[in-house]
Structure 1
């Protein structure tokens, strides 16, 4: 373990430090006097310097960013041979600069010795998480290196006649506990056992007359002794055919999930704190949520590779020598040829949960665009249709206007500061059908706003569902604890109990937020069936009384083709002069490539998708990447 990790400027100002020592470390003084001040450091060079420095019993890994005047230093005892020190310094430098480079550059331009308005304490979570990962990998490497080679031991084993003698030569790794039930058995002194399934056959077929009688170990005697014990009822596993199958105690199929012990393949979470890597701070100091394309780049790479392979196979196998007629170029696309290709494209889209009427509309748009036109050079009709459909999907999913929610909130915040008499918080209301995750995703939005240090009020306007108010209260308590821990914004809750008019409660919540000068008011509403006119009719009154700045509909990626009617009904429920502002599609982590609901809702209403839910944690919120969605749909 390192003794000190410090980030300081060439002017001697410490920007961030995570030290295990109680006083200033002498290795830092040696580094400054022997390396940084000396001519060896090439003061006129603009290139970064990554080097190693040794003094007494310590080793110093450091990296200097010359254009910023920032130095990253890791100090550890030389005897430890910290193999990941160089990579740790490089990783920490990359993360730190991605977060604070703009502030440092701005301070340099203004001649300030210390970057203003920079809270470097939030870097702690990033650093602790990275160190934990490196230490876990280092422990695994040590364990694999220390694992003894068992083959020579097996060859030199004497003939044993009892289990007691067998235990004397059992080899146990010094890094493993001998009474750990989850540790794999590394003892190779046991002879080859039954093949898979043989034990089950022995149980059902009576006694096994072909037992291994080898005198290499006392396994046979041990088995005979065990058989005399009182029989214990075996666990059962229900097979795919509905029949019960008895399983052995040694089987990997564990039926008891009540134990707190991790499974053999379970990974240990060394950092139970909130993962702040779900977003980043931009140059304006706003905390911006990642898009799905940033979160899953490997998915996009796989799509491109598979598309290339599919195109190659299609050109080579389907068309054989006749494919030259299609891809040389200049071929006029007729209606029959387009219909044949578009039929296959329509089926493909419907398999991705795109509604039939939406798929028909998209295919008709592509057909109108391509009919009578000529293919490009070395391009087949199939490739031309695919390219046109990709463009059509991209146009559908791309918003027609800017949906910068943070910009609008900041704008109202500035207006409130400039106005002494009038104060109006920014109001966001969440609506949707039952069970789509409105309260959960409302809390995710609240957590994101808290990272931007807003003062947030959550209004419990679901006065119908039992437990809705209590659910929000738990979320608010958890978020308040997290904000206090991370020194973020402030959050409170407004409630008036059950059985009240939701529109009136929302109006009271906004008035409370106005008097207490909250930046944002988030309004939770009751879930309702989109085809129930009695339930949907109250939304128009709600929209008029609450008059929120943004109305967000939470849709579900699992709903499939019914999402078209859901989106239309909710969009029309607020009256002729008010519509939805954007969609938040939840549970996208459960559908894989079947993300057709995104297209269904946007195509049927013209309302864009702004956020996507990818899990149950507060950080499982992403902005929609149009390219990511289109590539999944066309994969």
Structure 2
């Protein structure tokens, strides 16, 4: 996602970094390159034109401080404008003051509506809500069964009826939610391969029948400007409240994300990457702008880690590292935690500077599987005491894991280096805290 756009923008910033000051000439050249990069990323022409105009106006008004290079200043200007184009600030879902809150999901067939409905239920459940799903997509074969399968994974009930009547399903589901103390009802509606009158009329009837607190339009980001045009048509009919961008992990140039907010003037509220039920993320315009500019997204990375680690586990791990007891069993646990956090390439993209280095590198989600297989092929004693691993044991482990002795040796070497580095970093952290405490005691800055 956005890799090509990020690369072109960074190239533009580098061309300014060697300049002693910002001038009309180098601004015009940089803005021209940015507009070209945006159009190549399938950004709406009017959005690209307005964006570059604002960037140019801002740049011409700025005086470069002696401590700030033209490249740094221009990056800041583009970052600020990108954040505004993407919405400025995070927009929350609106909930009813008196439960249940009703969330209506709309979009074209194939956009990922049903999967998103399940993901949203899981997300809200993790926030302490008690959701129920309504299967109002009564036309697509197996749509109801798909929703039930997803709901079973996350332990959330689904309301459905035998009759192919979406409006009745939605109305009865609302009564079910009220009677069974569910504070959120999420309604999955039918889609078509294209916008048509029948689909729009049905969604409008459902909206009128249940008076939703929130209408979310789900759009496949891989469809580019078609997604923006479809959003415009839906908004005219049902006046939705927010956009959900799906399939951002696919081969998308990112034009829909940069265009849709300005074209329909509705905020992006969620983005979805991958098929896993926990691959749903609230949309933060500033964080997305950072990722587009290759700055990473450390805050989201930390939040993902916090979801999988509790404070007690973290303290125990730190104690094992400092006491030199960190072993391959601990390492295996960390691999499990990392895999639960989501796509490896997505996680790597959150680390500043890493996204561009991995631009042409495919990182498969099963990249850690050989390491897990090697560790799993060891006995408990071997995992706790890697020094026991002699040549014959390594051959047995290689055969059991379907790898090679060389792969086993590489893992052991990398583990030893990582263990040493972790211990050093922990010591430095302790030393830093001690120095700060000393400063506080002496009152010295």
Normalising by the residue count of structure 1, what TM-score does the alignment of the two structures yield?
0.41
Q: Give the 3 Å change call, closer, same or farther, for CA 633–451 of structure 1 in structure 2.
A: closer
* In 1, Cα distance between equivalents of 2:163 and 2:106: 18
1:323-472 alignment, distance < 5 Å: 323-324=19-20, 327=21, 331=23, 333=24, 338-370=27-59, 373=61, 375-377=63-65, 385-399=74-88, 403-405=91-93, 409=95, 412=97, 415=98, 424-472=99-147
Matched, 1:596 2:255: yes
Please tell me whether Structure 1 or Structure 2 has the larger radius of gyration of its CA atoms.
1
Matched, 1:537 2:196: no
Match of 2:302 in 1: none
1:519 pairs, out of 160, 183, 196, with 183
What is the SS of the residue equivalent to 1:589? coil
Match of 2:157 in 1: 492
Match of 1:585 in 2: 245
Structure 1 or 2: larger helix share? 2
1:76-115 alignment, distance < 5 Å: none
Check the 8 A contact 2:119/2:277 in 1, yes or no: yes
| Structure 1: gaps of 5 or more residues | 1-291, 293-298, 317-322, 416-423, 481-490
* In 1, Cα distance between equivalents of 2:200 and 2:124: 29
Question: Deviation per CA, 1:395-437, whole angstroms, max 9, x where unpaired?
Answer: 122356x6344xx55x74xx4xxxxxxxx41111111111011
Check the 8 A contact 1:463/1:497 in 2, yes or no: no
Check the 8 A contact 1:427/1:549 in 2, yes or no: yes
Instruction: Give 1:312 shift.
Output: 5.0
Check the 8 A contact 2:16/2:26 in 1, yes or no: no
* In 2, Cα distance between equivalents of 1:432 and 1:528: 8
* In 1, Cα distance between equivalents of 2:181 and 2:200: 32
Q: Give the 3 Å change call, closer, same or farther, for CA 376–475 of structure 1 in structure 2.
A: same
What is the SS of the residue equivalent to 2:42? coil
Matched, 1:611 2:276: no
1:626 pairs, out of 285, 305, 311, with 285
Instruction: Give 1:368 shift.
Output: 4.5
Check the 8 A contact 2:12/2:30 in 1, yes or no: no
What is the SS of the residue equivalent to 1:389? helix
Q: Give the 3 Å change call, closer, same or farther, for CA 452–619 of structure 1 in structure 2.
A: same
Check the 8 A contact 1:437/1:554 in 2, yes or no: yes
What is the SS of the residue equivalent to 2:139? coil
* In 2, Cα distance between equivalents of 1:633 and 1:354: 13
Q: Give the 3 Å change call, closer, same or farther, for CA 342–382 of structure 1 in structure 2.
A: farther
* In 2, Cα distance between equivalents of 1:450 and 1:381: 47
* In 2, Cα distance between equivalents of 1:395 and 1:605: 14
What is the SS of the residue equivalent to 1:618? coil
Instruction: Give 1:558 shift.
Output: 0.9
Matched, 1:557 2:245: no
Question: Deviation per CA, 1:339-394, whole angstroms, max 9, x where unpaired?
Answer: 443221111112333222321221233344455x3542467777655543321111
What is the SS of the residue equivalent to 2:162? coil
Q: Give the 3 Å change call, closer, same or farther, for CA 315–521 of structure 1 in structure 2.
A: closer
Check the 8 A contact 1:355/1:560 in 2, yes or no: no
Instruction: Give 1:477 shift.
Output: 2.3
**What is the aligned-residue RMSD (CA, Å)?**
3.1
Structure 1 or 2: larger strand share? 1
Check the 8 A contact 1:464/1:498 in 2, yes or no: no
* In 2, Cα distance between equivalents of 1:346 and 1:387: 17
* In 1, Cα distance between equivalents of 2:117 and 2:218: 9
* In 2, Cα distance between equivalents of 1:627 and 1:434: 30
Question: Deviation per CA, 1:592-635, whole angstroms, max 9, x where unpaired?
Answer: 7x323212111112211221111111111112232332134345
1:53-202 alignment, distance < 5 Å: none
Check the 8 A contact 2:51/2:85 in 1, yes or no: no
What is the SS of the residue equivalent to 1:536? helix
* In 2, Cα distance between equivalents of 1:508 and 1:363: 50
Check the 8 A contact 2:88/2:286 in 1, yes or no: no
* In 2, Cα distance between equivalents of 1:630 and 1:492: 37
Check the 8 A contact 1:431/1:438 in 2, yes or no: yes
Q: Give the 3 Å change call, closer, same or farther, for CA 515–311 of structure 1 in structure 2.
A: closer
* In 1, Cα distance between equivalents of 2:26 and 2:290: 24
Instruction: Give 1:444 shift.
Output: 0.8
* In 1, Cα distance between equivalents of 2:71 and 2:127: 47
Q: Give the 3 Å change call, closer, same or farther, for CA 343–606 of structure 1 in structure 2.
A: same
Match of 2:231 in 1: 567
Question: Deviation per CA, 1:107-152, whole angstroms, max 9, x where unpaired?
Answer: xxxxxxxxxxxxxxxxxxxxxxxxxxxxxxxxxxxxxxxxxxxxxx
* In 1, Cα distance between equivalents of 2:289 and 2:177: 40
* In 2, Cα distance between equivalents of 1:618 and 1:609: 19
